[in-house]
């Protein structure tokens, strides 16, 4: 029972409860509407809550306050799009174009302010209805050291377009060469696999194709310019510390006209000073499964479609009805594309020893990469052996770096163009 002045409007409440008493359910439903109830016999009487009435959940509702404020940066300029969230809840809002926000929060809540490029900040409400917040720029990215030309600089002092990724971005990837590991880790760096044959180098360009000739960037490994960009495929991915891409003319100017298509800088790992010898092993074994995204029609369906094409062109049908019935009764032969493709094993094993003294560091590593071919054939695939020694020595004001690298690649592939093989096998009807 209730009076009209108690329920001035209708409320629709959706509730899902299990194993709760009627009293618990009524308290849960009525508390948000500032209502209370009393059970008298078989009648439930609903009344407005008075100050003397205590309803579970209503006290929490009473403590809500509307908080308004403004978020600015260290120059007192408004910050639009700042996320303002009540800590420990899902209640959140964002600042408008003027940096202003409005949010309902408990009077003892803590508001968390987050914005890209700025340090997160927490502020307690403490019953206040107005809060002004100033966020401080995050200096982490500005203090990051990046490789530029023949040295390093802080990112804050670099004005060119530079991207850099470390080993964490590509470690654990099932990649057999450095470019496969780098794929998808940087914006504007386009890496496209151009062959099914193991050991083949992908196409690489920075910010798209700029010329009708060679579009590959300049490759620099540990400060040494390589005239052959494909030399990067001879590197052991586990030996690489960082990849740095110089995208524009300003950042790549030190290399002159050779850097017209950008520069890819590769820095290999070295030991650490005053560290004990550390042995590291990592390995990967897996199976490559070729993905064929289309299937051929049945042989009798192919005959029907070819007849239809001839009739539409005003020609005679190629196959008689009896031939079509024979194809359907006999079934299909093996599709040639399935016949020339297979699952193939891929494995990668690397072991390294690193360490250093007060004035010297060392890294010694060895690796084996073996990738079998997805095309059926006797021993088709590629196997690469890597060995590297990186030494550094401080002699007075001089720092001497010694690099010894050896690699050997054994590759056996089909004598014919694999693209034509796949196309021809895929379009050969299944009645052949």
Structure tokens that stand for 177 in this block: 């060469």
- 317 to each of 303, 320, 365, how far by Cα in Å? 9, 7, 67
- pLDDT tens digits along 353-386: 999 999 999 999 999 999 999 888 888 899 999 9
**Confidence grade of residue 161 (pLDDT, cut at 50, 70, 90):** low
Strands of 185-298 (E only): list them: 189-192, 203-206, 218-221, 224-226, 240-246, 263-268, 275-288
Cβ 367 vs Cβ 350: under 8 Å:
yes
Q: Is 180 exposed, middle or buried (0-12, 13-18, 19+ CB in 10 A)?
A: middle
Q: What is the CATH number of domain 63-134?
A: 2.60.40.4130
C-alpha distances in Å from residue 406, one per residue of 10, 234, 364, 410 = 81, 9, 12, 14
Residue 287 has which token pair? 């199976």
Show me where the domains of the chain are located. Answer: 1-62, 63-134, 145-268
Report the range of poorest mean pLDDT among 188-202, 295-309, 325-339, 369-383: 188-202
Mean pLDDT of 271-277: 91
User: Is a pLDDT exceeding 90 seen at residue 390?
Assistant: yes
Assess whether pLDDT exceeds 80 at residue 91.
Answer: yes
Give the CA radius of gyration of the chain: 35
The matching CATH number, chosen from 3.40.50.10490, 2.60.40.2580, 2.170.130.10, 1.10.510.10, for 145-268 is: 2.170.130.10
Alpha carbon distance 155, 160 (integer Å): 10
Which of 156-160, 232-236, 307-311, 374-378 has the weakest average pLDDT?
156-160
Task: Tell me what pLDDT residue 4 has.
Answer: 57
């Amino acid at each position: 029972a209730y009076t009209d002045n108690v329920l001035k409007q209708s409320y629709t409440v959706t509730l899902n409860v299990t194993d709760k008493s009627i009293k618990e359910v009524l308290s849960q439903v009525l508390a948000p509407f500032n209502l209370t109830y009393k059970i008298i016999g078989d009648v439930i009487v609903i009344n407005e809550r008075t100050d003397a009435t205590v309803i579970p959940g209503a006290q929490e509702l009473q403590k809500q306050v509307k908080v308004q404020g403004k978020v600015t940066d260290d120059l007192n300029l408004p910050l639009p799009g700042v996320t303002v969230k009540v800590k420990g809840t899902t209640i959140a809002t964002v600042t408008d174009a003027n940096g202003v926000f409005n949010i309902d929060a408990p009077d003892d809540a803590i508001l968390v302010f987050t914005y890209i490029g700025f340090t997160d900040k927490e502020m307690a409400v403490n019953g206040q209805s107005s809060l002004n917040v100033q966020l401080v720029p995050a200096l982490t990215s500005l203090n990051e050291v990046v490789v530029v030309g023949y040295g390093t600089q802080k990112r804050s002092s670099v004005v060119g377009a530079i991207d850099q990724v470390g080993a964490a971005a590509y470690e654990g990837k099932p990649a057999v060469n450095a470019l496969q590991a780098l794929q998808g880790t940087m914006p504007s760096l386009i890496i496209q696999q151009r062959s099914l044959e193991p050991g083949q180098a992908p196409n690489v360009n920075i910010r798209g194709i700029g010329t009708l000739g060679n579009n590959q960037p300049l490759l620099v490994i540990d400060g040494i310019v390589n005239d052959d960009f494909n030399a990067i495929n001879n590197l052991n991915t586990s030996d690489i510390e960082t990849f740095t891409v110089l995208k524009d003319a300003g950042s790549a100017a030190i290399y002159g006209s050779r850097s017209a298509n950008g520069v890819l800088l590769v820095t290999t790992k070295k030991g650490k000073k005053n560290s004990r010898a550390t042995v590291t092993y990592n390995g990967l074994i897996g199976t490559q499964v070729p993905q064929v995204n289309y299937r051929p029609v049945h042989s009798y369906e192919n005959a029907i479609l070819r007849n239809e094409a001839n009739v539409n062109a005003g020609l005679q049908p190629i196959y008689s009805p009896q031939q079509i019935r024979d194809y359907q009764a006999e079934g299909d032969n093996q599709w040639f594309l399935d016949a020339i493709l297979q699952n193939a094993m891929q494995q990668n094993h690397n072991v390294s020893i690193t360490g250093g003294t007060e004035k010297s560091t060392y890294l010694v590593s060895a690796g084996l990469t073996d990738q079998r071919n997805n095309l059926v054939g006797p021993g088709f695939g590629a196997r690469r052996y890597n060995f590297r020694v990186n030494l550094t020595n401080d002699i007075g004001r001089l720092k001497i770096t010694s690099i010894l690298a050896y690699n050997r690649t054994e590759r056996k592939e089909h004598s014919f163009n694999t693209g034509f093989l796949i196309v021809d096998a895929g379009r050969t009807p299944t009645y052949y």
